[in-house]
Amino acid sequence: MPFRAIFAVAALLTVPAALAQQPARTPDIHFTPTRHRVADMMLQLAGVTADDVVYDLGSGDGRIAIIAAQKYGARAVGIEIDPRLVELSWRTANEAEVANKVKFIVGDVFEADFSDATVVTLYLSTAMLRTMEPRLRALKTGTQIVSHQFGIAGWPPDRQITVDGSTLMLWTVRQ
C-alpha cells in the first residue's frame, strides 16, 4: 500500500489506549502536520541515505521518520511530547512496514538525547529553536539540521529553499 494511502488509513484509526493519555506538560506549539512533499524535501535537502540516523524533534504523527525509513532506508527516531501522536506514529510505521527501522519516544525535545543523530529535522517555533540552538550547535561535526519554516536567530543557514510555499533551511554543524 503506498505511503500516502497508509497515512490516510492510519489517521482515521481510533487509538483507544492513547486517547486517555495526556502530554506530561502543555506542548510548546500546536501540532501541524508537515505536508508529504515538504517532509520529503526536508530529507532530500539533508541528503539522507541508509547510513543516516534521523531524529525528528517534535515528530507529531511520525511522517518524517517514516519517510526517512521507507524511502531512504535510514534509521529514524521521532521524539514527541503527546503520547497520542506517538501511538499514531507506531501504528502508521507498522502499516508502512518500517517499525523495525523507526523508534518513537514520548519525550520532551528540551530534555531528549539526540547526540547520535546525523540528521535532525525540526518544525518548531523561533522561541523553541532559540532554546535548542546550543544543543544543536554541539552536535557532532557534519550533522545536518533542517528546519521547516523557522530559522535560528544569529545562525544563518547554509542553504535555504522554498517548497510549496514553505521555507526549508539547512545547517551543517561545524566545530
Indicate which CATH number applies to the domain containing 140: 3.40.50.150
Residue 98 belongs to domain spanning = 3-172
At residue 17's C-alpha, the angle toward residues 12 and 19, to 5°, is 65
| pLDDT class of 88 with cuts at 50, 70, 90 | very high
Cβ contacts of 157 within 8 Å, gap of 6 or more: 147, 151, 169, 170, 171
pTM of the shown model? 0.85
Name the helix (H) or strand (E) containing 40.
Answer: helix 36-45
Q: How many domains does the chain have?
A: 1
Beta-bridge partner residues of 80 = 106
pLDDT digits (tens, 9 = 90+) for 24-78: 555 455 678 899 999 999 999 999 999 999 999 999 999 999 999 999 999 999 9
